[in-house]
Amino acid sequence: MQLTFYALFAPFIAALFAPMLVRMFNHNAGWILAVVPALLFFHYTGFLPEIAGGGRVTGGVEWIPSFNVNFSWFIDGLSLTFALLITGIGTLIILYAAGYMKGHPQQGRFLSFMLMFMGAMQGLVLSDSFLMFFVFWELTSITSFLLIGFNHDKERSRRAAMQALVVTGLGGLSLLAGLIVIWNITGVSEISLLLGTGDTLRESPYYLAAFLLILGGAFTKSAQFPLHFWLPNAMEAPTPVSAYLHSATMVKAGVFLLMRMNPVMGDTVLWETVLPLFGGVTLLVGTWLAVRQTDLKLMLAYTTVASLGLLVMLTGFGTDKAIEGAVLYLIAHSLFKGCLFMVAGNVDHEAGTRDVTKLGGLMAAMPITFGAALLAALSMGGLPPFVGFLAKEEIYYGIAAADGWSMFITAVAIVGNALMLVIGFAVALKPFLGAKVETPKAAHEAPLLMFAGPLVLAVLGLVGGLLSGAFHKFFSSPMASAVAGTPLKIEISVVPHLGLALTLSLVTVALGVAMYWAMAWLRGRMANLLEAIGWGPDIGFDQFMQSLVKGAAALTRKIQTGSMETYVTIVFVALLVSLFGGLYKADEWPQIPEFPRLFVYEWAVILICVIGLFSVIIAKNRLTAIVSLGIQGFGVALLFMLMGAPDLAFTQFMVETLSVVILALVMTRLRLLPQDHRSNYQIVQDGLISLGVATALTLILLGVVQTEFDPTLTEFFNAYSYTIAHGKNIVNVILVDFRGVDTFGEIAVVMVSGLAILALIRIMPRKTNPDLPRSENTEEII
């Protein structure tokens, strides 16, 4: 068995042991647990040379062979880079979480959820089969739900968790439908095979359906406008969750999906219009909303939304350079955004607040955290010599062109990037520089566990930029090749090249710095604007959920009125419709029968039955009703007698006698009103319903007796009753011999109802109601 197979399960197994380890070693368990993602990281680095050489690795085991479903994985440039990001950042995050949640009573549970998420995310990017991909996709939604709602005693957390689950869960269903459509179009259910299908998908008449459904999955997961609102709310989660799930990994799953599908679905007018449009709008909305915020985490969250928009925009733009820019930016973003979130967490943890207006001058108290923040912010702002700079240059190379559409997109990118720089500086500089501001806690440097993560990520952002040759060789070029579907070689380095891209970069930086100084003013304008609009998708979500609950309650009240009369009426009307519908559909109406010729005594018995039946209805008091019930019962018994069924007749006599006696005994204990509760209208309605059902049943039975009789079974029993079973009463032989087990079942039914009766009788009345009619003086009522 290949090692990757175990790698896919390793985080889940670690999650199983996390609570136990935390109980034994407290927060130091983080050091042990972090070994798992670290080992996975090293396992995946082993693939680097092969993938950098243009190779692809697939493997797997049969899962459900009868449905042709495999448990298979597929590693190329795209999935390998993602896997390295997930396990690499995951290692740092586990350490960070151990420090951040130190002393929390549920730290074990927290680390367990984090590891589960890691396993789900790792599975998602490595899956080859569609089914596995979908299962892991949904698992990330579920673990994200658990993590966002981790502080489940707060209503805001519960709401955020529910919101994330509803939005991404619906997206997951859309994805499943999309994958099934793709499966039907191409006939393959594995990603590695799908990538080899060429233009099949693009030329299919169902391309639009597949496109929209896949987009539904990607846009919800990657928080594209107008479905972006769940991501900022997800900041209710503890900071390690925000740093890991909602910036570096999970929210990029949607982008991952689009990048995965790009070689087979991209390069169409639809793809290259819809993706840049939504991505661009998301970029602008995200950055402008970020300016509005004062909470460090929320500022970062909105820039994450914006960055996802940028990535979607670039993925759909259609040029190779744009894809290279997207790939570089994705890696850079994971590094600096993960770092900045952890920085925000450190500030919150050590200074006691995340409100940027209440922070300042922390540089002296938290020098290492500040260092990490500064490096990350420079990368986020796209300044040399960081990876962020490479990404931004490549983006401008990719999208700047003379036609109107490109100029529009370029303008969007410039504004977005400038605002990104503003936010990056606001988060990284504002709390640390300037005069010392009094904070709720006396700030001091965070412990090793908590500054290791941000520092490593920030330094990696610098190293990647400096050693761009190796960085491209092993990470960005293979990934870009996988996204484009053709081999690409990225060559951008930190050495500035004079030209359009550099000019645009300078414009961006200048614009960003200008806006940084005007930030307070911008924030005020934004707040006024949002107030003027007054409604947003976040409020819309509440309205949607509330109308769902109200609608469900109203519907329930409508169809479950609590009135048994209504239920029974519906049942019989449904029966009426289906019986007549069946007769009409099959067109098997019975023929009009001849008038039956019966002996007088037979007519008499039938008449007795009819009289008994109708006297029950018109009976003025209970006793008459009971006696009438007995009359129809005895009438049936007589009929059995006349028609050659003495066994039935005897049983019927006995049962009817018992029924009448017991009923009479019980009735004397009840004080019942003799009148029918029904109004005249209801009498007519009920009468018509029962007449209809009875007519239908009569017609069917008439049809049955008019068909030819198949005597096979009867002849069998007649022939073998004596010769095999040695009994002369054939009915008895059938009951106790041929169908003995049935009779045993019948006895069991009788026994069970006897037990139920016993139970009912032995439960004492739960309350003594003084108004309850007593059994005295019942004679006069009966």
Partner 1 sequence: MEVAIVILTGVFFLVSIYLILSRHIIRVLLGVAMLGNGVNLTIFTGGRITREIPPIIGNNASVPLEGIANPLPQALVLTAIVIAFSFFAFLLVLVFRTYQELGTDDTAEMRDAEPKGEASPPLGY
Within residues 616-635, the interface with partner 1 by CB under 8 A covers 616-617, 622, 625, 629, 632-633
Give me the amino acid identity at 338: G
Answer yes or no whether residue 577 interacts with partner 1 by CB under 8 A. Answer: no
Within residues 301-330, the interface with partner 1 by CB under 8 A covers none
Q: Which is nearer to partner 1, 355 or 538 (CB)?
A: 538
Alpha-carbon distance of 127 to 70, in angstroms, equals 10
415 close to 313: Cβ distance less than 8 angstroms:
no
Closest approach, Cβ 549 to partner 1, in A, equals 6
Closest approach, Cβ 741 to partner 1, in A, equals 12
Closest approach, Cβ 620 to partner 1, in A, equals 13
Closest approach, Cβ 564 to partner 1, in A, equals 4
Span near partner 1 by CB under 8 A; candidates 50-58, 81-89, 219-227, 747-755: 747-755
Residues 6+ apart with CB under 8 A from 516: 421, 422, 425, 426
Give me the amino acid identity at 769: N
Closest approach, Cβ 217 to partner 1, in A, equals 25
Within residues 59-78, the interface with partner 1 by CB under 8 A covers none
Alpha-carbon distance of 598 to 592, in angstroms, equals 18
Within residues 325-354, the interface with partner 1 by CB under 8 A covers none
Residue from the set 65, 749, 776, 780 that interacts with partner 1 by CB under 8 A: 749
Closest approach, Cβ 538 to partner 1, in A, equals 13
Q: Which is nearer to partner 1, 205 or 765 (CB)?
A: 765
* Helical residues (DSSP H) of 475-563, grouped into ranges: 477-484, 500-517, 519-533, 537-559
Closest approach, Cβ 506 to partner 1, in A, equals 48
Residue from the set 53, 597, 776, 780 that interacts with partner 1 by CB under 8 A: 597
Closest approach, Cβ 582 to partner 1, in A, equals 16
Q: Which is nearer to partner 1, 48 or 613 (CB)?
A: 613
Alpha-carbon distance of 216 to 224, in angstroms, equals 10
Alpha-carbon distance of 619 to 629, in angstroms, equals 10
Answer yes or no whether residue 574 interacts with partner 1 by CB under 8 A. Answer: no
- Which tokens hold the place of 427? 């988060």
Query: Per-residue x/- marks for partner 1, 159-198, CB under 8 A?
Result: x--x------------------------------------
Q: Which is nearer to partner 1, 152 or 497 (CB)?
A: 152
Within residues 757-776, the interface with partner 1 by CB under 8 A covers 757, 760-761, 763, 765-767, 769, 771-773
Within residues 361-380, the interface with partner 1 by CB under 8 A covers none
Query: Residue 201 carries which DSSP code?
Result: H
Residue from the set 514, 610, 661, 684 that interacts with partner 1 by CB under 8 A: 610
Alpha-carbon distance of 102 to 96, in angstroms, equals 10
Q: Which is nearer to partner 1, 406 or 685 (CB)?
A: 685
Within residues 677-736, the interface with partner 1 by CB under 8 A covers 677-678, 686-687, 689-691, 693-695, 697-698, 701-702, 704-705, 709, 711, 713-714, 717-719, 721-723, 728-731, 734-735
Instruction: Kindly tell me the sign of the dihedral angle through the C-alpha atoms of 507, 510, 512, 515.
Output: negative
Instruction: Give the count of beta carbons closer than 10 Å to the beta carbon of residue 400.
Output: 19
Q: Which is nearer to partner 1, 519 or 730 (CB)?
A: 730
The footprint of partner 1 on this chain (CB under 8 A) covers a number of residues equal to 116
DSSP structure string for 658-672: HHHHHHHHHHTT---
Within residues 641-670, the interface with partner 1 by CB under 8 A covers 642-648, 651-652, 655, 658-659, 662-663, 666-667, 669-670
Q: Which is nearer to partner 1, 503 or 718 (CB)?
A: 718
Alpha-carbon distance of 89 to 94, in angstroms, equals 9
Instruction: Give the count of beta carbons closer than 10 Å to the beta carbon of residue 645.
Output: 15
Closest approach, Cβ 146 to partner 1, in A, equals 15
Instruction: Name residue 295's beta-bridge partners.
Output: 355
DSSP structure string for 137-203: HHHHHHHHHHHHTTSTTSHHHHHHHHHHHHHHHHHHHHHHHHHHHHHHHHS--BHHHHTTSTTHHHH
Q: Which is nearer to partner 1, 48 or 609 (CB)?
A: 609
CA dist 201 to 175, 225, 480, 485, Å? 16, 26, 21, 15
Within residues 439-458, the interface with partner 1 by CB under 8 A covers none
Instruction: Name residue 603's beta-bridge partners.
Output: none
Whether cis (ω within 30° of 0) applies to the bond prior to 263 is: no
Closest approach, Cβ 141 to partner 1, in A, equals 17
Q: Does an H or E element contain 633, and which?
A: helix 622-642
Span near partner 1 by CB under 8 A; candidates 66-74, 152-160, 316-324, 432-440: 152-160
Closest approach, Cβ 221 to partner 1, in A, equals 22
Alpha-carbon distance of 314 to 413, in angstroms, equals 10
Answer yes or no whether residue 606 interacts with partner 1 by CB under 8 A. Answer: yes
Residue from the set 53, 65, 205, 596 that interacts with partner 1 by CB under 8 A: 596
Q: Which is nearer to partner 1, 491 or 676 (CB)?
A: 676
Closest approach, Cβ 643 to partner 1, in A, equals 5
Closest approach, Cβ 672 to partner 1, in A, equals 5
517 close to 491: Cβ distance less than 8 angstroms:
no
Span near partner 1 by CB under 8 A; candidates 28-36, 207-215, 255-263, 675-683: 675-683
Q: Which is nearer to partner 1, 586 or 705 (CB)?
A: 705
CA dist 756 to 520, 655, 749, Å? 76, 19, 10
432 close to 362: Cβ distance less than 8 angstroms:
yes
Within residues 526-565, the interface with partner 1 by CB under 8 A covers 545-546, 549-550, 552-553, 557, 560-565
Q: Which is nearer to partner 1, 448 or 604 (CB)?
A: 604
Query: Per-residue x/- marks for partner 1, 261-300, CB under 8 A?
Result: ----------------------------------------
Alpha-carbon distance of 565 to 258, in angstroms, equals 56
| Residue among 370, 389, 380 nearest 497 (CA) | 389
DSSP structure string for 34-79: THHHHHHHHHHHTTHHHHHTT--EEEEEEEEGGGTEEEEEEE-HHH
Closest approach, Cβ 384 to partner 1, in A, equals 46
Closest approach, Cβ 668 to partner 1, in A, equals 11
Strand 69-75 to 57-64 pairing: antiparallel
Q: Which is nearer to partner 1, 585 or 766 (CB)?
A: 766
Q: Which is nearer to partner 1, 35 or 755 (CB)?
A: 755
341 close to 304: Cβ distance less than 8 angstroms:
no
Closest approach, Cβ 138 to partner 1, in A, equals 21
Answer yes or no whether residue 579 interacts with partner 1 by CB under 8 A. Answer: no
Closest approach, Cβ 717 to partner 1, in A, equals 6
Query: Per-residue x/- marks for partner 1, 725-744, CB under 8 A?
Result: ---xxxx--xx---x--xx-
DSSP structure string for 575-628: HHHHHHHHHHHHT-PPPPPPPP---HHHHHHHHHHHHHHHHHHH-SSHHHHHHH
| Residue among 604, 606, 628, 608 nearest 616 (CA) | 628
Task: Determine the length of the chain.
Answer: 782
Q: Which is nearer to partner 1, 585 or 726 (CB)?
A: 726
Answer yes or no whether residue 158 interacts with partner 1 by CB under 8 A. Answer: yes
Half-sphere exposure of 546 (CA within 13 A, CB side): 6
Q: Does an H or E element contain 572, and which?
A: helix 564-586
Residue 349 main-chain phi, psi, to 5 deg: -65, -40
Residues 6+ apart with CB under 8 A from 266: 272, 315, 316, 318
